[in-house]
Amino acid sequence: MNSLTKERLVLAVCGVIAAAVAITLAATGNPGNMAICVACFIRDSAGALKLHTAAPVQYLRPEIIGIVLGAFIMSIAGREFKSTAGSSPFTRFLLGFIMSIGALVFLGCPLRMILRMAAGDLNAWVGLVGFAAGIIVGVFALKKGFSLGRATATLHKSEGYILPAVLLVLFVLSLATSLFAASTEGPGSKHAPVAISIIGGLAFGALAQKSRLCFAGGIRDVAIARDFSGLIVIGILFAGVLAYNLATGHFVVGFESQPIAHSEALWNILGLFVVGLSATLLGGCPLRQLVLAGSGSADSAVTFLGLLIGAAFCHNFGIASSATGTTVAGQVMTVVSIAVLVALAVANIKRADA
């Protein structure tokens, strides 16, 4: 077996595991068409930490903690853990913040977009147009010289341990105390048992680290180098969840009455355009940022904080969408986010040319 065949086999196995995890989480209690969604679950966790007070979306999601810890364990096992920092941290915080806005206007990260597509939600297929367009614009910026600079090894390796350690402590506290807010109705009240959630998160984080899974990166690599390998895991994940939905009667084609989704096409497109562009400038989608943070990147840990604070901001100021549609504040902030992203891209291109 040559190296290329072996690599593709590994990716295929990772895709099967990813689909199995998503199906298990969906079957054991996670919200409809939201077996695992990084942006939504970060939002729920922000609510649990009382960074926002939207009662229906408050729950410390073990999946988020598990993804970071799973990536941490896999990177240590594979001798790929590297504690790095120093690549435009505040810009990365801002990009993470903006990425949360786009995701919560659409109502989902790129991972949930795929899960919604596999359930027949045509709004997600419409949103895919915006996501791909954002990535293409980001690729154009990269080709013009956009760069956030190079991260370097930290003075102490322990720098990379901090976020995994903090999340582990939060998980233990969630089991042993009642410190955190928890929804009694709405999406936050729907969740798989804790043991299944944490194991699912650990498995998803480990396979994402091993396969370099990134929903923005898969499309980016096709656009830049005609490299389709990054789409293998995504394709198998989609096919596995689609098969499950068809077999169980959860596949419902349409725009209306989809679980935790709205049918405003323009804002689904623009919301995911924001996610696609910000993810390309950052070098990874929300899932990839968690995996990199677990693998030692302090810059991605800062991006995670941007995602967390951005999610809280969206609910504190009425920016997040709901099943009834977008808000005026959400529409305004989406347009503002696009303007800021373009400005950041131009500014960093000029710096690269200087």
The three state secondary structure string of the chain is CCHHHHHHHHHHHHHHHHHHHHHHHHHCCCCCCCCCCHHHHHHHHHHHCCCCCCHHHCCCCHHHHHHHHHHHHHHHHCCCCCCEECCCHHHHHHHHHHHHHHHHHHCCCHHHHHHHHCCCEHHHHHHHHHHHHHHHHHHHHHHCCCCCCCCEECCCHHHHHHHHHHHHHHHHHHHHCCCCCCCCCCHHHCCCCHHHHHHHHHHHHHHHHHHCCCHHHHHHHHHHHCCCHHHHHHHHHHHHHHHHHHHHCCCCCECCCCCCCCCCHHHHHHHHHHHHHHHHHHCCCHHHHHHHHHCCEHHHHHHHHHHHHHHHHHHHCCCCCECCECCHHHHHHHHHHHHHHHHHHHHHHHHHHC
pLDDT at 140 over 50: yes
If you average pLDDT over residues 12-17, what whole number do you get?
95
pLDDT tier for residue 58 given thresholds of 50, 70 and 90: very high
Q: Are 289 and 307 in contact (CB under 8 A)?
A: yes
Nearest-angstrom CA–CA distance, 69 and 47: 21
Q: 171 or 349: which carries more pLDDT confidence?
A: 171
pLDDT at 199 over 60: yes
Give percent of the chain with pLDDT exceeding 70.
Answer: 98
The letter for the amino acid at 336 is V
Range in 101-115, 191-205, 216-230, 340-354 with the lowest mean pLDDT = 340-354
Nearest-angstrom CA–CA distance, 248 and 120: 13
Give the model's pLDDT for residue 322.
95
Contacts of 136 (CB under 8 A, 6+ apart): 223
**pLDDT tens-digit map of 93-135:** 999 999 999 999 999 999 999 999 999 999 999 999 999 999 9
Give the model's pLDDT for residue 353.
45
Give the model's pLDDT for residue 1.
63
Nearest-angstrom CA–CA distance, 240 and 37: 17
Q: Are 217 and 291 in contact (CB under 8 A)?
A: no
pLDDT tier for residue 5 given thresholds of 50, 70 and 90: confident
Give the model's pLDDT for residue 354.
47
Give the model's pLDDT for residue 350.
64
Range in 15-24, 89-98, 313-322, 343-352 with the lowest mean pLDDT = 343-352
Q: 254 or 156: which carries more pLDDT confidence?
A: 254
Give the model's pLDDT for residue 32.
85
The residue to which tokens 């409809």 are assigned? 32
Q: What is the mean pLDDT of the chain?
A: 95
Give percent of the chain with pLDDT exceeding 90.
Answer: 94
If you average pLDDT over residues 60-68, what whole number do you get?
98
CA atoms within 13 A on the CB side of 271: 35
Residue 304: both structure tokens together: 């995670």
**pLDDT tens-digit map of 143-196:** 999 999 999 999 888 999 999 999 999 999 999 999 999 999 999 999 999 999
Give the model's pLDDT for residue 6.
80
